[in-house]
A and B are shown apart, each in its own frame.
Chain A
Amino acid sequence: MRLTGITKRFAGLVANDDISFALGQGEIVALLGENGAGKTTLMNILFGHYVADAGYVEAFGKILPPGDPKAALDAGIGMVHQHFTLADNLTVLDNIVLGTRRLFSPRLDRASARKKIAAIASDFGLAVDPGRPVGTLAVGERQRVEIVKALYRDARVLILDEPTAVLTPGEAAALFSTLRAMAARGLSVIFISHKLNEVMAASDRVVVLRGGRVVGERRTAETSREDLAHLMVGREVPPPRLGEAMRGGARLRLDGVTTDDSHGTPLDHVSLELRSGEITGVAGVSGNGQGSLAALLSGLIAPVSGTLSLGDAPVRRWSPRAALGAGIGRIPEDRHTVGAIGDMSVAENAVLERLRDRRFSRAGFLRADAIRDHAAGLIEGYQVKCPSPEARIRLLSGGNMQKLILGRALDGDPSVILASQPTRGLDVGAVAYVQQQLLAARARGAAILLISEDLDEIFALSDRICVMFRGRMSEPFDRASKTPAAIGAMMAGQGFETEQAA
């Protein structure tokens, strides 16, 4: 398969600029680039969802008609989208069969489909249960269904868009071994990613995109992470540097706090102290109580038992407004559903938390100018790339949305900052920026709680580290005192058994 001179413009923005590359049989090519580099646009052109303004796609010697997913499918190109294209109300089998039979034929012939699916499943080690409704499957299983769906149509080229974004590390490893098996059988694979380590681990060749252009092409065996990072970002990315801690007094304390289970695994007698000028990292496999911890600090839930103290005073009434009033800056885990309202403007989102503030409203009326100016300040101060404060926030890329939320949380120098998965899904440049800002807030004396599933991040940023397991929290320890392997073992429950027995 070969792409030649693909160019695509969106309203003044060049998303793809004269992109050409080829894919050989049995090859795994990684398409590496930051968010907004044009990777997904390129794949959508390849698959026929978009029509390119110039250039063409060639598959097995034939030029594909533009803008026709069916032609791409028929040419043997299968695509696994980042947002799965599965219907939850149908079974696995029905999802796979959808579109493979003549629409007006009177029957489906599920029996023969079942046989073919079983053959694919055993050939490639892709275990799927054809009878189950897709709605009941976990994310990793859904992705397997997507891959089987492509193979069922005899795809010879498989395109995966950010395939590991939603997977656990274990699932990702399984996915890559599947891809290897497919390549060994002569299938070609393109996967899109912005994660250097998986690109290094899984690909034969890397094509790096930046700003809509191909900026480099390397054989994976002949390159390094640093080289690729440099190509992708276009400049050196310095690792975050943790300055000397200037520890102050306790800003927020939990004493034996237990919560209800409205936000996932409840907290179980958790004690924790957040001190000024210090970042406390919470490691743990997701779903072990981090959601409840974040909800507690945001004011969404109150302790069922135990006390939450701000400074020295125990808190009686606890609500989101109380949390804000107490100077807790909140970076929520899910920026799309909790952090921002997609169809409202950047400016409106920037002041949502502070609408009652006299800066932004008087006598029940919003002060449009003040809001606009404030948003413009955040946009400039936090390098948010957006057309204007009036733009709907859902049009912003993940990194830019997160920068705005970061700006909103850090506005007015909060004394406590809750950063829940602050860099999840962001590209290298945005990750570095968010991390720098958190370190800067630490230097200003904020007490920061960092919840992350990314151990590297926990180690890079935290002064002290705690591990959560099934709603319980380990004693904090100095980050230098334990290895990542030791923490990994704690995340799996080591060290928590004795307490359970007691």
Chain B
Amino acid sequence: MMEAFEIFLSASFWVAAIRIASPLIFATMGELVCERAGVLNLGIEGIMVSGAFAGWLAVYLGADLWTGVAVAALTGMAFGLLHAALTVPLGLSQHVVGIGITLLATSLTYFTYRIVLPEVTSPPKIAAFQPLKIPVLSDIPVIGPALFNQTPLTYLAFATVAIVAWVLARTPLGLAIRAAGENPSAVEAQGISVTGIRVGAVMAGSGLMAVGGAFLTMSAFDSFFFEMVNGRGWICIALVVFGSWRPGKALVGAILFAAFDAYQIRLQQIAGDVVPYQVFLMMPYLLSIAALVLVARRATYPRALMIPYRKGER
């Protein structure tokens, strides 16, 4: 029993938790931006797959790592544009389009993988991002290595939260995005294009989701394999709700979930022979359902979420 508790004190546990949280943070911020503008983006799972592959492939074909991240973001934005074109000006069901984008992006990625690498049996590797030690700060016990001895992409994830929070709260663009998700006619009446804001938000958000996917192939691991996103996109949708559509709270949620996940891996090692490991695998999901029930009941969601805006219609 003591062993199960001591895990929380080990630096390696927190290092793993932050590493697991990073892709979730990117994708959660992406989903949050989309939803704040009033568009539910269920394409997230597929867009993460596409980003994971596109970024990795660029590097595999000789680009440097940051170019790879850019390629991933652009791939995500392309799928975001497709999603937005169908849901915003055409006003189609965001559920159907989102699931369609997930299926399309996932299959297109696997298909491209087979076309580009027809011969390989074991996935080829790239030279992934390496941890970048920040002097002094990384020497703090436990949180030092967890927060200040990570790869540059993890630092970028935290910076993304700050940027998204800043833009939403303190810039004219952020006001327009939040108003578009609450009452689009308010945006229209002030002479701003609702379509423009929503399409832009979905594209930017999708770009972030793809970078979240790319984190998996370029920082957490160094190769691409099928099923590697493994439902993380869906978790991010829950995290947005958990965070009540606020970047800071969503960040806390992402780290919490990642900590559960890191914990269950370690718990498997301790108690794996007594309890079937599937029970531990389930744990983060059960805990996130419980957390959702507790936290999200009073959440005030963007009022115009999932409602297409048609000019002049009341």
- Chain A residues with CB under 8 Å of chain B are 44, 49-50, 69-70, 73-74, 79, 81, 83, 85-90, 94-95, 97-108, 149
Contact = CB atoms under 8 A, between A and B. Distances in A.
Contact of B175 (A49, A83, A88, A108): A108
B171 A107 contact: yes
Nearest to B303: A88
Interface in B190-235: 190-192
Contacts of A98: 172, 175-176, 179, 186-187, 190, 192
B187 to A, nearest CB: 7
A225 B303 CA distance: 42
Given A73-B190, A85-B189, A90 B182 contact: yes
A81 B192 CA distance: 16
Nearest to B191: A70
B314 A99 contact: no
B178 interface: yes
A386 to B, nearest CB: 18
A145 to B, nearest CB: 11
B302 interface: yes
A81 B189 contact: yes
Given A44-B312, A49-B312, A98-B179, A85 B188 contact: yes
A86 B186 CA distance: 5
A107 B175 CA distance: 11
B211 to A, nearest CB: 21
Contacts of B303: 88-89
B183 A88 contact: yes
Contacts of A49: 188, 311-312
Contacts of A79: 189
Given A94-B175, A103-B172, A107-B170, 17 more contacts: A44-B312, A49-B188, A85-B188, A87-B186, A88-B182, A88-B183, A89-B181, A90-B179, A98-B172, A98-B187, A99-B176, A99-B187, A103-B192, A108-B170, A108-B171, A108-B172, A108-B175
A10 to B, nearest CB: 10
Contacts of A104: 171-173
B300 interface: yes
B309 to A, nearest CB: 12
A251 B186 CA distance: 49
Given A85-B188, A95-B186, A90 B178 contact: yes
A108 B172 CA distance: 6
Interface of B: 170-173, 175-176, 178-179, 181-183, 185-192, 300, 302-303, 311-312, 314
Given A44-B312, A98-B179, A85 B192 contact: no
A97 B191 contact: no
B179 A87 contact: yes
A69 B191 contact: yes
A108 B314 CA distance: 30
A48 to B, nearest CB: 9
A89 B175 contact: no
Contacts of B302: 89
Contacts of A86: 183, 186
Nearest to A109: B172
B6 to A, nearest CB: 44
A285 to B, nearest CB: 28
Nearest to A102: B172
A85 B185 contact: yes
Given A49-B311, A90-B179, A99-B176, A85 B186 contact: yes
B208 to A, nearest CB: 18
B300 A89 contact: yes
Nearest to A70: B191
Nearest to B179: A87
A103 B303 CA distance: 22
B186 A103 contact: no
Given A69-B191, A70-B191, A98-B190, A83 B172 contact: no
B175 A90 contact: yes
Contacts of A85: 183, 185-186, 188-190
Nearest to A146: B189
Contacts of A88: 182-183, 303
Nearest to B167: A106
A51 to B, nearest CB: 10
19 contacts: A49-B311, A69-B189, A83-B185, A86-B186, A88-B182, A89-B303, A90-B179, A94-B175, A97-B172, A98-B172, A98-B192, A99-B187, A99-B191, A100-B190, A101-B172, A103-B172, A107-B171, A108-B172, A108-B175
Contacts of A100: 172, 190
Contacts of B187: 87, 98-99
A102 B173 CA distance: 8
Contacts of B170: 107-108
A181 to B, nearest CB: 23
Most central of A69, A87, A100 by chain B CB within 10 Å = A87
A50 B312 contact: yes
A50 B312 CA distance: 7
Contacts of A44: 312
B201 to A, nearest CB: 12
Give the residue among A81, A95, A99 with the most B Cβ atoms within 10 A.
A99
Contacts of B182: 87-90
A88 B179 CA distance: 8
In the complex, the 10 A-B pairs of residues with the closest C-beta atoms, listed nearest first: A99-B190, A70-B191, A85-B189, A87-B179, A101-B172, A87-B182, A85-B186, A89-B182, A87-B183, A85-B185
B269 to A, nearest CB: 45
A175 to B, nearest CB: 19
Contacts of A107: 170-171
A95 B170 CA distance: 13
A104 B192 CA distance: 12
Residue of A50, A70, A98, A101 with highest tally of chain B CB at under 10 A: A98
Given A85-B185, A86-B186, A90-B178, A99 B300 contact: no
Contacts of B173: 103-104
A161 to B, nearest CB: 11
A83 B314 contact: yes
A103 B172 CA distance: 5
A89 B186 contact: no
Contacts of A69: 188-191
A72 to B, nearest CB: 8
B79 to A, nearest CB: 24
Nearest to B190: A99
A312 B233 CA distance: 65
Nearest to A71: B191
Contacts of A87: 178-179, 182-183, 186-187
Contacts of A94: 175, 179
A73 to B, nearest CB: 5
Contact of B171 (A50, A106, A149): A106
Contacts of B175: 90, 94, 97-98, 108
B204 to A, nearest CB: 12
A79 B190 CA distance: 10
Contacts of B185: 81, 83, 85
